[in-house]
């Protein structure tokens, strides 16, 4: 199955789903910020268990601990799946992230102070986002899942 992709900029690609009946969006494409997100979109679009999927469909308010201010988090994807065993529908809120951004940064020799501070701030921000997403999903009866390269490859 060949998908249409359009490079928007150095860091973004437009992904055009083939199964538009499953893809819910204001446009006929979603913006992917990594090749991993493109891979996830291909999987979501072609997977028979996925009844519906959307890209960055909701905003969740959170307090960014690293920047000390209120912000809004837009998780990458929302998918509605049908469980094969129970035949029940479930909703998942999904974030696609590199595994190294999902755990506290490792201090290694030769890493600059600026890099260490940036990694620490990124992790603190991600942790704040994800805690808010977990609470949001709990209220809705949904599941929040972070998908890394280990899950995709």
Name the 3-class secondary structure at 120: helix
| Distance, C-alpha 124 to centroid of its chain | 17
Q: Report residue 55: phi and psi, to 5°.
A: -105, 125
Locate 49 and state its tokens.
């268990």
Domain ranges of the chain: 4-152
36-89 pLDDT, tens digit each = 999 999 999 999 999 999 999 999 999 998 889 999 999 999 999 998 888 899
Fold of 4-152: Trna Endonuclease; Chain: A, domain 1 (3.40.1350)
Round to whole Å and give the CA distance between 39 and 76.
13
Interatomic CA distance for residues 44 and 29, integer angstroms: 13
**Residue 137 corresponds to which tokens in the numbers above?**
């999903």
* Confidence class for position 9, pLDDT limits 50, 70, 90: confident
Cβ atoms 72, 61 nearer than 8 A: yes
Q: Is the pLDDT of residue 1 over 70?
A: no
């Amino acid at each position: 199955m060949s998908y249409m992709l359009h490079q928007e900029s150095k860091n973004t690609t437009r992904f055009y789903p083939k199964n538009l009946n499953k893809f819910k969006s204001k446009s006929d494409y979603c913006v992917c910020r990594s090749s991993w997100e493109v891979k996830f979109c291909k999987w979501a679009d072609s997977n028979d268990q996925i009844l519906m999927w959307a890209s960055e469909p909701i905003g969740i308010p959170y307090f960014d601990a690293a920047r000390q201010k209120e912000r809004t988090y837009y998780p990458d994807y929302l998918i509605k799946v049908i469980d094969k065993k129970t035949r029940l529908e479930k909703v998942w809120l999904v974030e696609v992230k590199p595994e190294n951004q999902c755990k506290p940064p490792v201090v290694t020799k030769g890493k600059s102070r600026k890099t260490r501070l940036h990694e620490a701030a990124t992790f603190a921000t991600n942790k704040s986002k994800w805690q808010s997403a977990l609470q949001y999903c709990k209220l809705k009866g949904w599941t929040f899942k972070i998908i890394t390269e280990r899950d995709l490859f």
